């Protein structure tokens, strides 16, 4: 898909009619951020409360993958991203290590919301990330996915690819392989998308700190600006 200028793409209905909404995607690159406008978006599928969810997922936090959930008096960073989104990859390359350090030192509560705006391979990647979370490897897998991001929906991201990729993280568990092969968390991925739509998330990345969206013209493309946004809350 071209990214020089503003493009229109008709989102396909998901297979078998399971995803009962139609959307038109307007994709533009604006200061390095992929804007994905839903025109219109009609959510007709309610959250599936019986969906299997990965470890560390917080239902109360929009089905996000949450770290330091019970830590008090720290900034709450919410990141909405698509693993196929080039602007998300850029944000990860700029601020990812800092965010991981905030998590490891318990200086922030962080929620990752894996969206699937960009199609089938985004869904497969989000599911694989959930499977990796069950192995205690979400952050490492998250970093590895963005570091190995192929062209959008190129066919590179398959279940066997994720299984092979994870070997480098020391994941060789049969339960993980089955989780990937069975698309175990597909309904969780749908829940994340539905909860994001309820919040009017229409671009990736979108980042909130303490419930307020940060300035995408500054903080998404500058580590110093992002650190300042975290500091100011």
Mean pLDDT calculated for residue range 186-207 = 95
Query: Residue 5: is its pLDDT beyond 80?
Result: no
| Edge-to-edge order in the sheet of strand 212-213 | 57-58, 64-67, 109-115, 76-82, 206-209, 212-213
pLDDT in tens, 6-53: 333 333 334 444 333 333 333 333 334 444 433 333 344 578 888 999
Average pLDDT for 83-110: 98
Provide the whole-model pTM. Answer: 0.81
Q: Which of 187, 146, 144, 147 is nearest to 163 (CA)?
A: 144
Closest CA to 98 of 232, 211, 231: 231
Instruction: Report pLDDT for 79.
Output: 98
| pLDDT (0 to 100) of residue 4 | 38
Question: Token pair for residue 166?
Answer: 């994870």
pLDDT tens for 116-151 read 999 999 999 999 999 999 999 999 999 999 999 999
Instruction: Average the pLDDT over each of 20-34, 85-99, 170-184 and give the range with the smallest value.
Output: 20-34
Q: What does the alpha-carbon distance between residue 68 and residue 104 come to, in Å, rounded to a whole number?
A: 9
Q: How far, in Å, CA of 232 to CA of 194, rounded?
A: 30
Comparing 22-31, 134-143, 154-163, 193-202, the range with the smallest average pLDDT is 22-31
| Confidence band, pLDDT 50/70/90 cuts, at residue 61 | very high
Residue 219 in this model has a pLDDT that exceeds 50: yes
Could you give all domains of the chain from N- to C-terminal order, each with its CATH number? 53-232 (3.40.30.10)
Q: What is the pLDDT of residue 45?
A: 57
60 pLDDT exceeds 60? yes
């Amino acid at each position: 898909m071209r990214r020089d200028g503003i493009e229109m793409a008709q989102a396909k209905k998901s297979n078998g009619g399971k995803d009962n909404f139609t959307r038109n995607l307007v994709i533009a690159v604006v200061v390095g951020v992929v804007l994905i406008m839903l025109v219109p978006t009609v959510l007709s599928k309610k959250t599936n409360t019986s969906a299997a969810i990965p470890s560390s997922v917080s239902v109360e936090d929009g089905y996000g993958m949450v770290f330091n959930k019970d830590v008090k008096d720290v900034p709450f960073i919410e990141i909405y991203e698509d693993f196929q989104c080039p602007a998300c990859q850029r944000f990860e390359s700029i601020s990812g290590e800092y965010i991981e350090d905030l998590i490891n030192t318990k200086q922030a509560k962080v929620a990752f919301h894996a969206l699937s705006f960009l199609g089938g391979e985004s869904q497969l990647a989000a599911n694989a990330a959930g499977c990796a979370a069950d192995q205690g490897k979400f952050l490492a897998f998250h970093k590895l996915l963005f570091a190995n991001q192929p062209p959008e929906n190129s066919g590179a991201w398959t279940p066997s690819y994720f299984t092979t990729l994870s070997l480098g993280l020391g994941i060789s568990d049969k339960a993980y392989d089955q989780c990937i092969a069975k698309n175990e968390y597909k309904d969780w991925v749908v829940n994340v998308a539905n909860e994001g739509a309820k919040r009017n998330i229409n671009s990736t990345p979108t980042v909130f700190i303490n419930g307020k969206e940060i300035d995408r013209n500054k903080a998404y493309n500058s580590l110093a600006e992002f650190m300042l946004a975290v500091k100011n809350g």
